[in-house]
Amino acid sequence: MVIRTRVQSSLASGPTAAIWLDAGSLSGYADAIPRVSKCVDEVDGTRNPHSMVIEHDNRHLYSVYGRSHNIPSVPTFGWDYNGYALAGISPIISPSSGEPSDNTSLSTALARTNPNRPNADVLQTLVELKDIPNMLKKAWGRNMERYPSTARLSKASAKRALRENSDRFLEWTFGWLPLLDDLGKIMDFQGNTEKKLRQLRNLRDGGSTGGSAVVWEDEAISPLQSRFLTPLYAEGNQIHFQWVTTRKKWVSVNWIPSVPLPPQSDAGDEAIARRMAYGQGVTPALIWELMPWSWLIDWFSNVGDIMSLTRNAIPVRHSGSCIMRRTTTRFKYIGKWDGTGIFSVVPSRYPQNDIKERVVSGDAVPLPEINLPFLNGKQLGILGALTLTRTAR
């Protein structure tokens, strides 16, 4: 394996100058602003994916158009900006949320792209249907109850109302909403079957099928900053701006048959596609989904994603998986702060810093992992509702 480094450079802008209105020179010419690209990759003479890092560094922040000083009676005290380019080095802002590890990212992507992952597990839906009578009974009972008015609401009745509202939220989140979602997927019989049929034929005829999954996105913004546009600070020509760093992490997966897939008739292919789309009976993944509190464990681990890999309607394995990251920092113009000039600012159309990374996971098998992620608003609402219902009882 050979590590290769390539560097390319171009100009983001040519030499520029600020010119007095009386044709006098302000301070000579500014240096040209470069744009540098650096690529570090691995080479071994094959076409297999290799690890790689590409970084684009653009020092051009923005260009200014307009007039620095707006005193008509003394025009020689001002000058025109005609695309005057300003340069600088951009900072990379720290992320606002925790990035999942490569191991967790791989397990998440494998679970989402697995051809054996059903669109809707019919057996799981049938098992959950037994809860409908109790759910209807509880909903009907609440509708028949009468709560006291707000003016006569005692402490005990307030706790009761709070508990009942928490119960409604949990029943909707874990009962009605997943049930309606599964029923909607089951009803799309033709679309689900055709999608799985294409994957099956790609695996058998083409030898592989691919997919990708975004596992993490983040945006971090710096505090508001200001900058003078001219060396004449008494004019007060300042602008407000921020640095914005966005991050994205995704995984591409290639699935190949574990054993040669024998040819089937059209009816045989459709039967297999239906098993892929709607589940293939009792599997460890189904048992895990039906276990109480498995959803909470999945918030803090990748056990559920690993269990989903046990589905085996067709024998497949992943190969050549790659983990990708992209970190981009941009200059964001907010507006003019104060000053005597009249001008406009045009930010560079290129990001100031752009880093792309690729890490090859190959045929790596994800391992169980426990983590403490940042919980979103919905997850915090569920935990709050659970706390209220438990403490009220």
Q: What is the CA radius of gyration of the chain?
A: 30
Mean of pLDDT values over 262-272: 85
Reported confidence tier of residue 67, pLDDT bands at 50, 70, 90: confident
Task: Using the predicted structure, report yes or no on whether residue 315 has a pLDDT greater than 80.
Answer: yes
Task: Using the predicted structure, report yes or no on whether residue 57 has a pLDDT greater than 50.
Answer: yes
Task: Using the predicted structure, report yes or no on whether residue 313 has a pLDDT greater than 70.
Answer: yes
As given in the structure block, the two tokens for residue 205 are: 């005829």
pLDDT at residue 65 in the model: 85
More confident residue, 367 or 170: 367
Place of tokens 């992620």: 373
pLDDT in tens, 210-223: 899 999 999 999 99
Distances from the Cα of 56 to the Cα of 37, 38, 110, 252, 326, angstroms: 4, 7, 30, 23, 11
Mean of pLDDT values over 343-368: 90
Task: Using the predicted structure, report yes or no on whether residue 152 has a pLDDT greater than 60.
Answer: no
Phi, psi (rounded to 5 degrees) for 298: -65, -25
Q: CA 165 to CA 154: how far, in whole Å?
A: 16
Mean of pLDDT values over 39-49: 85
Residue among 129, 299, 318, 313 at smallest CA distance from 208: 318
Task: Using the predicted structure, report yes or no on whether residue 20 has a pLDDT greater than 60.
Answer: no
* DSSP code string of 304-367: HHHHHTT--SS-EEEEEEEEEEEEEEEEEEEEEEE-S-EEEEEE-SS-SEEEEEEEEEETPPP-
The Cβ of residue 165 has, within 10 Å, a number of other Cβ atoms equal to: 14
* Contact present, 289 and 297 (Cβ < 8 Å): no
Distances from the Cα of 140 to the Cα of 132, 134, 144, 145, 164, angstroms: 12, 10, 6, 9, 13
Phi, psi (rounded to 5 degrees) for 320: 70, 35
Mean of pLDDT values over 158-175: 64
Total-model pTM:
0.77
pLDDT at residue 293 in the model: 79
Task: Using the predicted structure, report yes or no on whether residue 17 has a pLDDT greater than 50.
Answer: no
Of 225-234, 265-274, 277-286, 307-316, the poorest mean pLDDT is in 225-234
* Contact present, 193 and 276 (Cβ < 8 Å): no
Mean of pLDDT values over 311-331: 92
Mean of pLDDT values over 247-269: 90
Residue among 375, 374, 387 at smallest CA distance from 169: 387
As given in the structure block, the two tokens for residue 343 are: 């001008």
More confident residue, 250 or 386: 250
Residue among 61, 32, 92 at smallest CA distance from 333: 61
Q: Where are the alpha helices (DSSP H) in the chain?
A: 102-113, 122-129, 132-144, 155-171, 177-187, 189-201, 266-278, 284-290, 294-299, 303-308, 377-392
Reported confidence tier of residue 343, pLDDT bands at 50, 70, 90: confident
Element (H, E) at 29: strand 25-30
More confident residue, 367 or 187: 367
